[in-house]
Amino acid sequence: MTDVVTDALVASEDSETNKARILMVDDSKVMRKSVLKMLGADFDILVAEDGAQGWEIIQQDNSIQVVFTDLNMPRVNGYELLKLVRTSPDDGIRNLPMIVVTGAENDDQAKELALEQGATDFITKPFNSTDLKARAMAHANHNRATKTLQKISTRDVLTGLLNRRAFVERLSQDASFVVRHQEDLTLLVVEVDSFNELFLKIGRQGADSVLKQVGKVLEKTVRQEDAVGRIGLARFAMSLPTASADGARKLAERVVRTVESFKARLRGEAILISVSVGGRAVPVGVRADSDVLLKQAESELVPQRARSQIQVDRYAQGLEDGPSFAGNISSPDRVGVRTDALVSIDLLLDQVREGRVDAARAMLTPALQRLAPLWVLLTKEERSRLVADIEGPA
């Protein structure tokens, strides 16, 4: 069985011996005490006096497995709490089992409205401890199983990081978040250099160990609000909401230094391990397409040994197929601006240097079209000299 599946199943088995965490939201002190008395021996119970307090607890505690809520409460009532939960950008919150506690004052119309807002189940007062416990256990077990399956399906088997699909989904959520809150978003893509050669030299087990170690470095480097995923054979990505391009570049430099400090040896020979890092920074207020953003960041990957600094270019909005950059960070203390034309020429030359003649030819016309507006800046003499240089000796 794979490591990640084993870890998930072990976590699930461990949680069987631990108490499931239940949140009871009710403005009645008597009701809160009754639930504590009925469920306290079998569950870890949290209580909230109204929907506002309940929502605050839900956002802060991701270990909650089931929520019981009254409908009629001050400040934020049960209907409003249901809506907050079901419209949350956090999948864990959005999918919480929400059991509505109803009484004589709640008619069928009230229940229908609660269902429309996302109620999972109902329990009617007065209830006995057996019924309450059975309902809580059933929903807690279902929630635990669902989370286990989600963890398995969204995690990379080797490293335990987010897989590509899950990472792109998270990146899309981060892109929406930063627009709403007027914050920066920076995406970094990290790739192990010459991985195929490394694989042939140290074998599959050794290469897998390198990938695991790189994944651990990335996880330890980022903040709690960031996301890390393995998106290719030897390629990783980091979504950094609220991080500026400059801050992300410094983080990338730490990653590069840490990986280069790895002490790997094969039959007494030191093995050099390095990573390349490319990035894109999304300006405040711009809604980035996650697939395009990722493609643009991946296009920035240049072997670290072939460059003197890490670049984090600006996200090119509206470009589906390729990077036409507005700017880049090329050193710790300087922000340089490159025109679309110059970047196009750089990319074209990269293709030529790598022997991709057909790709270079396909990029030639668009590159020249971008250069055309610059032609008017040249004097007649400069134009003649440039044409002569291009044509070369007769």
**123-173 per-position pLDDT tens digit:** 988 888 898 999 999 999 998 888 777 667 889 989 999 999 999 999 999
Amino acid at 170: R
From CA 133, how far away is CA 226, in angstroms rounded?
Answer: 37
From CA 157, how far away is CA 381, in angstroms rounded?
Answer: 62
Burial (Cβ within 10 Å: 0-12, 13-18, ≥19) of residue 196: exposed
From CA 67, how far away is CA 72, in angstroms rounded?
Answer: 15
Peptide bond into 126 cis (omega under 30): yes
Residues of the chain short of pLDDT 50, as ranges, are 1-17, 304-309, 318-344
* pLDDT attached to residue 124: 86
* pLDDT attached to residue 194: 87
What number of other Cβ atoms are within 10 A of residue 7's Cβ? 15
| Residue boundaries of the structural domains of the chain | 3-154, 164-338, 340-394
From CA 362, how far away is CA 354, in angstroms rounded?
Answer: 15
* pLDDT attached to residue 343: 45
* pLDDT attached to residue 341: 45
The tokens describing 265, both together, are 């040896």
From CA 300, how far away is CA 313, in angstroms rounded?
Answer: 8
3-state secondary structure of 312: strand
Q: Say if CB 348 and CB 364 are below 8 A apart.
A: yes
Helix boundaries (H) for 118-183: 129-154, 164-180
From CA 309, how far away is CA 313, in angstroms rounded?
Answer: 12
State the DSSP H helix or E strand holding residue 54, giving kind and residue range, or none if neither.
helix 51-60
The tokens describing 356, both together, are 């991709």
Q: What are the backbone dihedrals phi and psi of residue 151, each rounded to the nearest 5 degrees, phi first? A: -65, -40
* pLDDT attached to residue 368: 64
From CA 51, how far away is CA 29, in angstroms rounded?
Answer: 14
Which class is domain 164-338?
A: alpha beta
Identical fold for domains 3-154 and 164-338, yes or no, is no
CATH of 3-154, one of 3.40.630.10, 3.40.50.720, 3.40.50.2300, 3.20.20.70: 3.40.50.2300
Q: Say if CB 164 and CB 232 are below 8 A apart.
A: yes
Q: At what angle do helices 108-117 and 78-86 cross, to 10 degrees?
A: 20
* pLDDT attached to residue 146: 82
* pLDDT attached to residue 4: 32
Give the torsion through C-alpha atoms of 141, 146, 149, 154, to 10 deg: -140
* pLDDT attached to residue 393: 58
Question: What order of strands is seen across the sheet that includes strand 235-241?
Answer: 227-230, 235-241, 185-192, 275-282, 311-314
Nearest to 22 by CA among 83, 64, 73: 64
Q: Say if CB 74 and CB 39 are below 8 A apart.
A: no
What number of other Cβ atoms are within 10 A of residue 90's Cβ? 13
From CA 28, how far away is CA 58, in angstroms rounded?
Answer: 19
Provide the 8-state DSSP code for 309: S
Q: What are the backbone dihedrals phi and psi of residue 61, each rounded to the nearest 5 degrees, phi first? A: -125, 105
* Cβ contacts of 119-127, under 8 Å, gap ≥ 24: 119/82, 121/97, 123/68, 123/99, 125/31, 125/101
Please list the residues that pair with 13 across neighbouring strands: none
The whole-model pTM stands at 0.48
From CA 196, how far away is CA 22, in angstroms rounded?
Answer: 49
* pLDDT attached to residue 339: 35
Burial (Cβ within 10 Å: 0-12, 13-18, ≥19) of residue 185: buried
* pLDDT attached to residue 301: 78
